[in-house]
Amino acid sequence: MDPGQASTAVERHLVFVYGTLKRGHGNHHWLAEAVFLGTTTLRGAVLHDLGPFPMAIEGEGTVWGEVYGVDEPGLARLDRLEGCPRLYRRCRRVLADGRKAWVYLGSWRQVRNVPRVADGCWHGPRRGGGVGKSHQPLP
C-alpha cells in the first residue's frame, strides 16, 4: 500500500455475548453489522437469570456464548444497550479458546436474589420474565 493512502481496513473488537445478543434472541439485531466468529466459553464467570435477560459475574463457573467482531461505533452502541458502566462493566477477558474479548459483567449485589443458570448457557427469558427484545431504537 502506498504510504500516502489511508487504510480501508476496519478495526474489529472481539465481544463475547451470552444473552439476548446471541443468535435467535431478541437483541441480536444489534449485531447486524458485526462478524460472527464462533462459539466458546468464558471460565471464571457465573451466569444468573434475571428473567428477561441474564447477567454474568466473576466467580467459579463457566459461561457459554458467541464471539463477534464489532467496529468502534458498534462497540459504543453495545455499551449503550448494556447500560455500561451503570448496569454492566465492559471487561477484557481471555476466553477458553485463548482469544481476548470484551465481556459485559455485572456485580454480585445485582444477582444475589436471582437464580444461577446451572449449566452456564442461557436459553431465553423465563416464562413471564418480560420482553426479551430491547425497545431502544438502533442509532
Residues marked active site are found at 82
Contact 35, 14 (CB under 8 A): no
Encoded amino acid at 34, one letter: A
- C-alpha–C-alpha distance, residues 78 and 137, integer Å: 12
41-70 b/e with 16+ CB inside 10 Å = b? Answer: bbeebbbbbbebbbbbbbeebebbbbbbbb
Write down the H helix ranges in the chain. 72-81, 108-111
